[in-house]
Amino acid sequence: MKVAVVTGGNKGIGFAIARGLCEKFDGTVYLTARDETRGLKAIEELKKNGLNPKFHQLDIDNLESIQRFRDYIKEKYGGLDVLVNNAAIAYKNAATEPFGEQAENTVRVNYFGVLETCKALFPLLRPRARVVNLSSSAGHLLRIPGENLRKKFVDPNLTEEQLSELMKEFVESAKKNTHSEEGWGNSAYVVSKVGVTALTFIQQRKFDCDERPDLVVNAVHPGYVDTDMTSHKGPLTIEEGAVAPLHCALLPPGVKSPRGKYIWCDKKEVDWISGPVPSQC
């Protein structure tokens, strides 16, 4: 039996992606969430619509939770066919926490949480599996002001370990309040999502050398969506925000492109390095 997993699926874009997979994916769909009560409530809502998702608790900011989920999927199904890394956090513009604290928490969840989830679940991916890393328009490289930093991100030989060191360097500079002069800019969310996008390219390079055929991962900007994360300022519905992620999650076997790309909300590939950054959605 094929299995699909959506992290952070109890609301917003993650919920819409889980719903879309229930409708279109030929297999079992797991809606996961950090909070079990909220997750089960989301499951009940989908069941009212005649859908049949399953729930499992998963907090990507908790290694024990990640490992419990990995062990459960491995024991029950023996493998995984679709993984949508949607779970993330974002501080509001009016947040009063020190920027160093915001940077540490945002990068820990949005980058390192995704990384640890992938490390745990990638060994379970079956041939022709599809992975979608939810990025953002904020995840475009040009959102990083420093040219020297951008050069490090685009190094074709960049490793996961080196990328993780870059993420740690940002957090340290944020704590010392030197992040702006070092070229990082003033958004921890931007840095975390640039990290996720860069991670995607590294992961696809590894997949291309994997003995399991046709493994594909893409980073997707879902659009500016009406969710809690955007304080409901986004013009798109959660269903519209789920379009591009679902497209990448359901790519057919043997697809030539996109593979290891940065995909916009209109399902088109965007030049991550040089731009331009599209203005729509």
The catalytic site residues sit at: 189
Residues 6+ apart with CB under 8 A from 237: 16, 225, 226
Burial degree of 37 (CB within 10 A; 0-12, 13-18, 19+): exposed
Burial degree of 48 (CB within 10 A; 0-12, 13-18, 19+): exposed
Give the Cα separation of 271 and 277 in Å (integer).
Answer: 8
152 in helix, strand or coil? helix
Give the Cα separation of 77 and 100 in Å (integer).
Answer: 41
Taking residue 177's Cβ as centre, other Cβ atoms within 10 Å add up to 11
**Tokens representing residue 88 in the block:** 């993330």
